[in-house]
Structure 1
Amino acid sequence: MSRSLRRGVLAATVLSLSIASLSACGAGNDAQTLQVKPDNAATSAGDIKIQNASVVTQPDLNAKGPAVVTATVFNNGAKDQKLTAISVNGTGQSAKLSPAGGSAGAITVPAGGSVVIGGQGNASAVLASGREAVQDGNLQPLTFSFSSAGKVELGAYVVPAKAYFEGYGPSQVPQPSGSASPSGSASPSESASPSESGKPKAGAGSASPKASASAH
């Protein structure tokens, strides 16, 4: 066998082994590609599953005011469950819950269905002192309390109401605490009045009638 032919056979063998290795990685229930998980906060306990949990704060870092908790809650059971509380671990703060289109109170997660928390027209969970309770960029532990499933804990990402999260942010957006006030503008009394500015000054070069007559 010539040297060039041996090189061709060796290259073909290496290529076939590489293809076989890649095929093995993607085959079966334990394939590596099946173990890739999305980068969002999610957990499950019994019939309850929580996905895409976030705490959305004011868009301006210096603004003080409420924050909101957003999440999608699934109920795989045969009976309705009620979400009775969402608390921020370590702060003593709990969110004010409101069903979609209703007053404050527990949020019902229907059997075999789901509930979206946050966003226009959906159920809401509002933290009255969000800026004091959480910090942007943190992974904040939260506890969801359900009527049957009990307490379910997970870490939620804390993000400002910008870009993708703009439509899910707090409905009440106060002005930043360091915003300038219009009190520094000049008052009308400080500006010169038209009568004074247009009035000629005595002795400013204007000749009197007697002086012009004597000149002739």
Structure 2
Amino acid sequence: MSRSLRRGALAATAVVFSIASLAACGAGNDAQTLQIKPDNAAVTKGEIMVQNALVITKGEKDKKGPGAAAVSATVFNSGSEPQTLDGVTLPGGKAKVVLKASEGSGKVTVPAGGSVVLGGQGNASAAIEGAEALEDGNVQKVVFQLSRTGSVALDAFVVPGDGMYAGYGPTVAPAAPSPSGSPSGSPSGAPSGSPSGAVSGSPAGSPSGNAGSSPSGSASHAAGH
């Protein structure tokens, strides 16, 4: 066999071996192709797993005004006992996270064998106060404090509350003066002015005039007879 043919055979053998190696890596339970991780931050510690953690800021249409943001995540509890989410912190800044249960004013509870969602309509919320330093596109460390597991930390992306995240970002509370001003002005003026004038003027004048003239006229007519 010539030298050129020998080189060609070696090259072909190397290509076949490479393809076989890749096929072997892609097979089995430990295949790299099966180890797909979610794009958003996720971490597991003991019985607690936190998935899809994000720090969501205001959307483009709500950029004006004071900074506000929210933590969105799903917290799973694989244990046999419920745990409470006692706090969420953002180390490295002055931002404060305020937790609120989906119903009532109690703590956010992660049920045994269940999960709790932070963010979105009808779910628990983790609103961030003083979020001016947060910038979209950055990575922010977030620490979840569980009653039994303790601190569970991860790095979450900071994203704007637009598109698929529009319903999970910070919400703006309605202004307080509007509801209280409208009801108090209207009812108090109408009832007090109208009924009092009609009742005191008409009935009081009518009976007194008829009663004074009619009986006296009848009495003088009877005396003349």
Q: How many residues align?
A: 172
Cα separation, 2, equivalents of 1:173 and 1:154:
29
1:66 maps onto 2:86 in alignment: no
List aligned pairs for 1:107-122, cutoff 5 A: 107-122=108-123
State the match for 1:149 in structure 2.
Answer: 149
Give 1:47 deviation, angstroms.
0.4
Cα separation, 1, equivalents of 2:51 and 2:40:
7
* CA RMSD after TM alignment: 2.8
Check 1:160–1:173 CA distance in 2 against 1; reply closer, same or farther (3 A cut). farther
State the match for 1:163 in structure 2.
Answer: 163
Cα separation, 1, equivalents of 2:49 and 2:17:
42
Give 1:70 deviation, angstroms.
0.3
Cα separation, 1, equivalents of 2:45 and 2:15:
46
Which of the pair is proportionally richer in helix?
Answer: 2
Give unmatched runs, 5+ long, in structure 2. Answer: 175-225
Deviations 1:184-211 (A, max 9, x none): xxxxxxxxxxxxxxxxxxxxxxxxxxxx
Identity across the alignment (%)? 53
List aligned pairs for 1:123-142, cutoff 5 A: 123-130=124-131, 132-142=132-142
Cα separation, 2, equivalents of 1:66 and 1:38:
26
Is the contact made by 1:47 and 1:149 (CA closer than 8 Å) also made in structure 2? yes
* Aligned partner letter, 1:90: G
State the match for 2:101 in structure 1.
Answer: 99
* Aligned partner letter, 2:135: Q
Give 1:108 deviation, angstroms.
0.3
Match of 2:81 among 72, 79, 82: 79
TM-score by length of 2: 0.66
Give 1:93 deviation, angstroms.
3.1
Cα separation, 2, equivalents of 1:80 and 1:65:
34
Check 1:143–1:10 CA distance in 2 against 1; reply closer, same or farther (3 A cut). closer
Give 1:31 deviation, angstroms.
2.2
Check 1:97–1:10 CA distance in 2 against 1; reply closer, same or farther (3 A cut). same
Cα separation, 2, equivalents of 1:57 and 1:21:
46
Give the secondary structure class of the aligned counterpart of 1:167: coil
Check 1:85–1:69 CA distance in 2 against 1; reply closer, same or farther (3 A cut). same
